[in-house]
Amino acid sequence: MMQRSVPRRPPPRQALPASIADRILLLRDDVLVLDKPAGLPVHRGPRGGASLDDWLEPLRMGKRHLPQPAHRLDTDTAGCLVLGRTKPALGALGRIFAEGRAEKTYWAGVRGGPAADSGTIDLALRKTSSAARGWRMEVAPDGQPALTRWRVLGRGAGITWLELAPRTGRTHQLRVHCAAAGFPILGDPFYGADEPGGLHLLARAIGLPLDPPLATTAPVPPHMRAALSACGLGG
């Protein structure tokens, strides 16, 4: 006798902790945007430890599938992280990021700063590694093309508040480009301005040509407020 298939029930919905709920910048049926805290890896590493993976089940919020990140954000970078809530949304997001159609804006506090008020850094990058220093990115003529536009938003005593707009999405692109241009990002242990207090890099805003279009911004995290306030950030 043929057995009837029983519909699969979704797992029980978990309560969304306030610490996670407070970091949802935008929520739609297809996409959500989180304000990722600095220091939280997007994916769990081989040594384990806390990561965004721990947040995915409560962020399901009634959906059949777990939400999934649509792009990369460094562990030490705070701010806008886009997650797809459905398979069609993840496919659309993947194409947008792969084709360079995502409008990404970052804020950074840097040591020193450029003389001009705006400009472009066009330096190819490649990955390198050594037993002594591990892996890192470096400027190399035979590397992958990498382009960053920048604009000064404010200046302080020995530091500058920059708006950065990467036109490519290379690993550590903004960190390497700023260091190579002579104004490394504050708190960067790899590329030259390793002051205590954390990396002063914020994924400030994201704009995506979805239907309807998506746009949102992330607040300045506590560890960046003093430096940016010294450069003229209000409030």
Which residues does the annotation mark as catalytic? 74
On whether the CB atoms of residues 194 and 187 are closer than 8 A, the answer is yes
- Report in angstroms the alpha-carbon separations of 5 from 1, 8, 12: 13, 9, 21
Angstrom distance (rounded) from CA 218 to CA 42? 17
With the C-alpha atoms ordered 219, 225, 230, 235, is the resulting torsion angle positive or negative?
Answer: positive
Cβ count within 10 A of residue 71: 19
Q: How far apart are the first and last CA of the chain?
A: 71
